[in-house]
Structure 1
Amino acid sequence: GKPPLDTVRFVPTSGAQSQYESLKSGQIDMTYILRDEAVIEQALDDGYSGYLSPTGQNGIGTINNREGKPGADVRVRQAIAYGVDPAAVNTRANNGLGTASSELVPQTSRWYDNTAGIPFDQVKAKALLDQAKSDGYDGKLRYLTTSEPSQQATALTVQASLNAIGFDVTIDYATDVTDLVRRVYKDHDFDMTRGGAPVGEEAPYLNLYNSMASDSKNNPSGFADPEMDAMITAVQTASTDDAVREAISKVQEYANATVPYVIWGPASVLTAWDGNVHGVVRNITDIMFLGGAWISPNGETVER
């Protein structure tokens, strides 16, 4: 039948704070706040309705693994992983409100199995970088970002951390999110950027596949490894919760060695809306279905 809404309009925004201000001022009815813990906390304190998803590895450093890029050398990827402190990223980008960790799934997850991620170790990072340089790598790295405050703060933190161990990091600013997405997913025109590959509680296999599988169309790093493919399939086919945890643990151990990307911690995603919005349905990847959504006048609660 005919959907309740005649029109749905998607409005470009310039970051979490701008999105929330537009929601509060009534310019928009609904917004998707990604990885900005301060803004999310503000929205929750103000009593907005919505869905909050605190998911693992939503704050990651996506490294371009493709041939011809610095990240094609696993030692470069390892040096980046050991050389950036997740706690520093959390302090600068999230005002210290988030959680710093390098695990695929956070300790609060039902899938956590006490398997550690990569620790912060500048000495080891420098040794790995020196090995790569001895084989001809010049240390140059382009970090792609937008000028949105939390993204920019992450870029500056990574730049300072990696330059301290011998990298030469240049920050490359995309004009907007659309430009960044095009350069990362279509043109592969980047060395490193910040992204997210959230491992949801309902179906952890989905995003492990999306972010690391060789044949995934949503794998921005270009990482491809048959052994990892087999381990991810084992997560999908595990028949019990304990078996899923064990399978994810093996993925973690292999990711520590191969570094498809670096992990700085879980992050929250909040989809918030005004009190006059009803009937929104969420799926397990935080996609919101609006087929049955409707709006009541003046914020009233109306039975339908």
Structure 2
Amino acid sequence: MRGATPRSARLVAGAAAVVLSVGLLSSCASSDDDKDTPGNAATYETGLVNIPKAGDVKKGGTLSFAGYGEPAVLDPAETIVAGSTGGLEMAAIYDVLMRWDSEANTVEPQLAESLEPNEDFTTWTLKLRDGVKFSDGTPLDSAAVKFSLDRYLRLGADEAMLWSNNVKKVSTPDPLTVEFELKTKWPTFDYMLTTGPGMVVAKSAGEGKGFKPVGAGPFTLASHAPKEKITLKANPSYWDGAPNLDAIEVVFLNDPHSTWDSFKGGNVDMAFLRDPDVVDEAVSAKSPGYMNLVSLGNVAIINGTKGHPGADPRVRKAMQLAVDAKVVMERAYDGAGVPSNETFASFSRWHTDVDSLPHDPEAAKKLVEEAKADGFDGKITHLDSSDPASKATALTIKASLEAVGFEVELDLVANIQEQIQKVAIERSYDVAGWGISWREAGPYGRMFATNHSQGNLSAGMPTSPEMDALFDAFQAAESEDDQREIMGKIQAEWNELVPALVFAPSAEFLMWSKQVHGVVDSTNSLVLLQDAWIS
């Protein structure tokens, strides 16, 4: 299964962590006749889908959830905050200061009372709710927020570099006010408080081996049996009243087909899917849930550091011209979904009319010949996992590259830990199956982290001053129209830079049974369960 690779976002923890993902969805416009067919962008709209009407709220019961990847530690400073990597559990324990409303496409207060910018978006003022307490009884005040943010940066969380490069000062003028002074104009700063930085960790939680998750969310950790399940119990002192559920039980089945079968059989109430074949089936079944679309979800990143073939831009461009995304996805997933090698495919509101690089083997051959004339030996090592879909992807890439003059050696590793070690830590690879994961809601954060020269999740991908400048312009833009215009320029620069071979975006589907109600959506495929109940 593809779910065994970093591209499918198991769990990655610590400073070397990279958000990973797998899957695909349509990059093609649809007709009215095929609007609801699998693999179609119109079917995979971001947001809540197929939500049934609910009756009177019922109190009590345990909600069972088949998670995608088990978090090693429920700490937003040590674990990537996403629905596939323990995000649901951490949101239940810590809550979030702000949340993204997919229907309104706005960031709204959650644990916070308000968040307002000054006129030029260089200072943001956060107001906290009075009387909120952590589950240990201590107050969640401005000092607690600042402590948690300082801790987040010190421990090198996945968005720590983004934060430190953009936030000049955090001050606490009174117990219920936090002021963020930025280094530059940032109209979408509020998205930062919907993820890891917006999860406030109590001082009593500690860190390292002695860490115990303590937050102000609607649930607390009851138990964690590694490789089996996590149990959360209701927090009766939650600031918005005790949750409807008594408990949440998270299990880890470690196979997408087993997860889907278990959900269909009624053995779990909720499940997270991102492998394209099972996502297609779940979408066809019109299961209720939260659909989140992730661009650059299925890629092979290129090591552009000195001493690797990818340091030569001709080699990088030749590889992308040689590989047909459609063939890759057909071989890996038996035709599930539809491929695209664009940064943002046609489903996305960030899609532009700037074309991506075409499939052009003849042009690829010429570039390879030019590089060889200057001393390139033609040799490339492709790293990926050894599960069937990853192996099929690797073999397809190998054949495509060798057809234009490359000599490709495959390095198919046995497990995710080895792949992360080679890619994110050692950077001892030429090309590697991975996921970059630019998201629909507030994409700047992930763009900066993965492909800006100051980002901490590039894993060796080439960057450029031109791309940095475009990211900075995107950050400062005040309207989506302005941002979209810049996104077209980002696609054009991507075509020149070629930091990765792009095969498809991905669909992440957090689905639940028709008996589950009151689920609230947010960013990064997170859902909030303080109002959830089972009929």
Same fold by TM (over 0.5)? yes
Unpaired runs of at least 5, structure 1 = none
Q: Which residue of 2 aligns with 1:151?
A: 390
Q: After superposition, give the CA deviation of every residue in 1:199-231 in whole Å (9 maximum; x if it has no partner).
A: 322212222222211111111233232221111
SS at match of 1:171: strand
Instruction: State yes or no: 1:260 paired with 2:484.
Output: no
Going from structure 1 to structure 2, the CA distance change for 1:277 and 1:183 (only over 3 Å counts) comes to farther
Which residue does the alignment assign to 2:232? none
5+ long unaligned stretches in structure 2:
1-133, 136-218, 228-251
Of 335, 351, 364, the residue aligned with 1:96 is 335
Per-residue deviation, 1:30: 5.4
User: Aligned with 2:438: secondary structure?
Assistant: coil
In structure 2, what is the Cα distance between the partners aligned to 1:168 and 1:29?
Answer: 48
- State the 1:289 CA deviation: 6.1
Aligned AA (1:250): K
Amino acid corresponding to residue 6 of structure 1 in structure 2: A
Q: Which residue of 1 aligns with 2:431?
A: 192
Q: Distance in 2 between matches of 1:276 and 1:4?
A: 24
1:120 aligns with 359
Question: Which residue in the other structure is 2:56 paired with?
Answer: none
Match of 1:16 among 256, 259, 283: 256
Does residue 212 of the first structure (1) align with residue 414 of the second (2)? no
Q: CA–CA distance in 2 between the matches of 1:37 and 1:47?
A: 15
Q: Deviations over 1:135-159 (max 9, x none)?
A: 2211111111112222222111111
Cα separation, 1, equivalents of 2:449 and 2:325: 23
Alpha carbons 1:76, 1:128 under 8 Å: kept: yes
* 1:93-145 C-alpha deviation (Å, 9 max, x unpaired): 23223222221111121122201011000001011111111122111111111
- Count of residue correspondences: 295
- Relative contact order higher in (CA < 8 Å, ≥ 6 apart): 1
Is 2:273 the counterpart of 1:33?
Answer: yes
SS of match in other structure, 1:107: coil
Which whole-Å CA distance do the structure 2 matches of 1:19 and 1:10 have between them?
A: 18
Match of 2:471 in 1: 232
1:60 corresponds, among 299, 302, 308, to 299
Q: Does 1:171 align with 2:387?
A: no
Which residue does 1:7 correspond to in 2? 223
Task: Identify the range of structure 1 (216-225 vs 21-30) with the bigger mean alpha-carbon deviation.
Answer: 21-30
Structure with higher helix content:
1
Amino acid at match of 1:238: A
Which residue of the other structure, out of 121, 131, 139, is the alignment partner of 2:370?
131
Residues 84 and 187 from structure 1, CA distance in 2 versus in 1: closer, same or farther, beyond 3 angstroms?
same
Structure 2 CA distance, aligned partners of 1:105 and 1:7? 40
Q: CA deviation at 1:162?
A: 0.6
Could you tell which deviates more after superposition, 151-160 or 280-289? 280-289
C-alpha change, 1:109 and 1:147, in structure 2 (3 Å) is: same
Q: Which amino acid aligns with 1:197?
A: I
Give the superposition deviation at 1:27: 7.9
Q: Matches of 1:171 and 1:65 in 2, distance apart? A: 18
Q: Report the Cα distance in structure 2 between the residues aligned to 1:14 and 1:191, rounded to whole angstroms.
A: 29
Asked whether the 8 Å contact 1:99–1:266 carries over to 2, the reply is no
- Which residue in the other structure is 2:131 paired with? none
The aligned residue for residue 162 of structure 1 is 401
CA distance in 2, matches of 1:37, 1:155: 17
Amino acid at match of 2:416: V
Residue of structure 2 in register with 1:85 after alignment: 324
For residues 228 and 73 of structure 1, the distance between their equivalents in structure 2, rounded to whole angstroms, comes to 17
Q: What is the identity, as a one-letter code, of the residue corresponding to 1:177?
A: I
Distance apart, 1:13 and its partner CA: 6.2
TM-score, length-scaled by structure 2: 0.50
CA 1:70/1:201 → structure 2, altered by over 3 Å: closer, same or farther? same
Q: Which has the larger radius of gyration?
A: 2
8 Å contact from structure 2 (residues 301, 461) kept in 1: no
Provide the identity percentage: 32
Deviations 1:26-56 (A, max 9, x none): 887755433x211112233456544222232
State the superposition RMSD in angstroms: 2.7
